[in-house]
Amino acid sequence: MTQTIIQRAFAPFKAHLPPWVSGPLRSVATAVLTPILFSYRTGHFLSSFKMAAVSRKGEPLPWYTYPCIDFLTYRSYEDKAVLEFGGGQSTLWWAKRAKHVVTLEGDSQWYERIKSRMPTNVDLHYVSMRSPLECVVAVEGILRSVKDSMFDVIVIDGLVRSEMIGIARRLMAEGGIIVCDNAEGYGFYEGFKDSGLSRVDFFGYAPGGVRPHATSIFFGSNSFAFSSRHPIPVTANDT
């Protein structure tokens, strides 16, 4: 196991100071430096100032919890189709990794703001949010017109989220996953409890966020993302 920055910096003090001095000193250093290093390494500092989800290098991140971002980062999507209900920074993140991304956005101002930034492998569509029924009808119409009939990754992070659950379950490809942000609400538990899918909850902070929440992934027994062949990453939060 590699040493942390705190461990390396503290090593000289531990070697030359008595335990009754080095012990409390290490505790104070850990208490003060750990949250600072977390915020720097994850990009939380930069995301807060930019008011956008970014890594410490300024690259786009999904606005999911950091544990979920870490998990998703170490999977391969080069031959995968992604469907997003709600887009933005996450769309750019998925587009960099996946073969094709279809994104449906319900905020007209946000749609106008982000559409010029989309790469060629993204199909971005505006969806009316005047009523849940109108939203569902528009979503179904758009999805009938796109080239992908099934999706390996489906993200529910916008639109009328509870109404998107049934659509996501129907369009999830064999071995696929459904990512649900803010999964402690929006009817996700009720919508998936009898689906036969398993669930993993990734609790934690999100880029620029003040309070922790849950991003959950629903999956079947043969999911590509949960294969035991994936190595456990040594370095997390290094996106």
Alpha helices in 101-160 (DSSP H): 108-114, 132-145
- 20 plus 133 within the same structural domain: no
pLDDT at 94 over 50: yes
Contacts 24+ apart (CB under 8 A), 8-15: none
- Domain boundaries, position 35: 5-42
Model confidence pLDDT, tens digit, residues 160-186: 999 999 999 999 999 999 999 999 999
- 134 plus 178 within the same structural domain: yes
pLDDT of residue 222: 93
In-domain check, residue 47: no
pLDDT at 1 over 60: no
Which CATH number goes with the domain that contains 97?
3.40.50.150
- The two most distant CA atoms of the chain are separated, in Å, by 71
In-domain check, residue 157: yes
Number of domains in the chain: 2
pLDDT at 236 over 60: no
Model confidence pLDDT, tens digit, residues 194-209: 999 999 999 999 998 8
